[in-house]
Amino acid sequence: MKKDDALMFANANPKIVKAFYSLLKTFKSFDLKKVKVVVHIRYDQNIQEIVSFWSDLLKLSIEKFNKTQIDLRTKGKPSFPEYKGVCSIYYFDARIQRILLELQNQYIEKILS
């Protein structure tokens, strides 16, 4: 997803989230000051435990994490132990959005040819 000034990527799979964040960091113009993270969890999950999981995985300071979003619709429905919520990475620089779209188009063209 792209807002006017930000690129947002969200996923529940830790490997996919880490791969995306690692890709972002390869760009010369990458600036850690432009990164914010929001974690979306289920009602029965421990906020500190889940945020620490994502913080450790991405090697990002807890200060980079905005307020955790809790899905109230999941109250009374137990989570799977391995589920760590959805991690949303926001990067406030639309230039990288354009670069990623171009890479995506090149990759799709290569597959189709």
Give me the sign of the Cα torsion angle 48, 86, 66, 104: positive
Please tell me the pTM assigned to this model. Answer: 0.86
* pLDDT tens column, 38-84: 999 999 999 999 999 999 999 999 999 999 999 999 999 999 989 99
Residues 1, 101: Cα–Cα separation, whole Å: 11
* pLDDT tens column, 48-61: 999 999 999 999 99
Domain assignments of the chain as residue spans, ordered by start: 7-112
Q: What percent of the chain is modeled with pLDDT above 70?
A: 96
Half-sphere exposure of 79 (CA within 13 A, CB side): 20
